Structure 1
Amino acid sequence: MKKWTGVLQVSFTYVGTVVGAGFATGQEILQFFTRYGWMATFTIGISTFLFIWLGIKLMILANDVGAKSYEDLNKLLFGEKAGGWVSLLTLISLFGVSTVMLAGSGAVFSEQLGFPHQLGLLFTLVLAYILLVRGMDAIMAVNTVVVPLMGGFICLIVWQTIGTPGAGNWLTLESDYPAVRIWFSPLLYAAFNLTMAQAVLVPLGVRVGDRSVLRWGGIIGGIWIGVMLLAGHFALSAHMPGITQYDIPTGQLIHRVGPVLQLLFVLVIYGEIFTTLLSDVYGLVLQLEQRTRWSYQVLLPVILCLCYFVSQVGFKTLLSSLYPLFGMLSLAWLVLMILRRSPASGGA
Structure 2
Amino acid sequence: MRNIRNILSVVCGYAAAVIGAGFASGQEIISFFVKYGKYSIIGVLLSCIIFSVFAYAVLSVCVEKNIETYSDYLNNFFRHNIRKIVEIITLLFAISTVCVMTACAGEMLFILFGIKKIFGAIIFNAVCGMIFFMNNKKIMGINSILGAIIIFGIIFCCFYILRFREHQVFSNEVKMTVSSISYAGYNLITTGAILAGMSRFLQDRKEAAVASVMSGVVLFVMMLLIWTVLEIYYGKINLGEIPMLTMALRQNKVFGAIYGIMLFFAVITTDVSNGFNVLDIASRKIGKNVVVFFMTVIAVAMSGAGFSKIINTAYRLCGYGGLVLVFYVIYNFIKNMNKVENECKNENTKVKLAKNKHNRL
TM interval, shorter chain, is 0.7 to 0.9
> What is the letter of the counterpart of residue 217 of structure 1?
A
CA drift at 1:333 = 1.2
Structure 1 range deviating more: 86-95 or 16-25: 86-95
User: Per-residue deviation at 1:119?
Assistant: 4.8
Which residue of 224, 241, 250 corresponds with 2:235?
Answer: 241
**1:324 counterpart = 2:312:** no
1:135 is the counterpart of 2:136:
yes
Structure 1 residues 220 and 111: CA distance shift in structure 2, 3 A? same
Of 134-143 and 11-20, deviating more is 134-143
CA distance in 2, matches of 1:324, 1:48: 17
Q: TM-score, normalised by structure 1?
A: 0.84
Q: Aligned to 1:120, what secondary structure does the other structure show?
A: helix
Identify which range, 234-243 or 75-84, moves more after superposition.
75-84
Structural mapping, 1:136-175, within 5 Å: 136-162=137-163, 164=165, 166-167=167-168, 169=170, 173-175=171-173
Distance 2:322 2:18 in 1: 14
Q: Which residue number corresponds to residue 44 of structure 1?
A: 44
- TM superposition score normalised by structure 2: 0.81
* 1:208 counterpart residue number: 201
Contact 1:62 1:73 in 2 (8 A): yes
> Is this contact kept in 1: 2:129–2:296, CA < 8 A?
no
User: What secondary structure does 2:15 align onto?
Assistant: helix
Q: Distance in 1 between matches of 2:31 and 2:229?
A: 14
Deviates more, 1:125-134 or 1:2-11: 125-134
- Cα drift, residue 262 of structure 1: 0.8
Which consecutive residues of structure 2, in runs of 5 or more, have no partner in the other structure? 342-361
Aligned to 2:244: 250
Task: Find the counterpart in structure 2 of residue 110 from structure 1.
Answer: 110
* Matching residue's letter, 1:154: I
Query: Quick check: which has more Rg, 1 or 2?
Result: 2
**Distance (Å, rounded) in 2 between the aligned partners of 1:159 and 1:264:** 12
Structure 1 residue corresponding to 2:191, chosen from 179, 187, 197? 197
Tell me which of 328, 332, 337 is aligned to 1:340.
332
Q: 1:318: Cα distance to partner?
A: 4.4
CA distance in 2: counterparts of 1:337 and 1:168, whole angstroms = 41
Indicate the RMSD between aligned Cα atoms, in angstroms.
Answer: 2.8
- Offset at 1:250? 1.0
- What's the secondary structure of 1:242's corresponding residue? coil
The answer as to whether partners of 1:47 and 1:187 remain within 8 angstroms in 2 is yes
Q: Distance in 2 between matches of 1:264 and 1:288?
A: 36
Structure 1 partner of 2:278: 284
Whole-Å separation in 1 of the counterparts to 2:37 and 2:318: 26
Secondary structure of residue in 2 paired with 1:255: helix
Question: Could you tell me whether the CA contact under 8 Å between 1:29 and 1:229 is conserved in 2?
Answer: yes
Residue 210 of structure 1 aligns with an amino acid whose one-letter code is Q
1:287, distance to aligned residue in structure 2 (A): 2.9
1:304 aligns with 2:296: no
1:93 CA displacement: 1.9
The number of aligned residues is 334
The 3-state SS of whatever aligns with 2:241 is coil
Contact 1:11 1:218 survives alignment (8 Å): yes
Deviation at 1:74, TM superposition (A): 4.2
* 3-state SS, counterpart of residue 195 of structure 2: helix
* C-alpha distance after superposition, 1:48-103 (max 9, x if no partner): 21111211212223344555643444455553312222212221221222233233
41 and 288 in structure 1: CA distance in 2 versus 1, 3 angstrom threshold: same
In 1, the alpha carbon distance for the partners of 2:263 and 2:57 equals 29
Contact 1:12/1:140 (<8 A) preserved: no
Given the superposition, is the C-alpha separation of residues 343 and 128 from structure 1 closer, same or farther in structure 2, using an over 3 Å criterion? farther
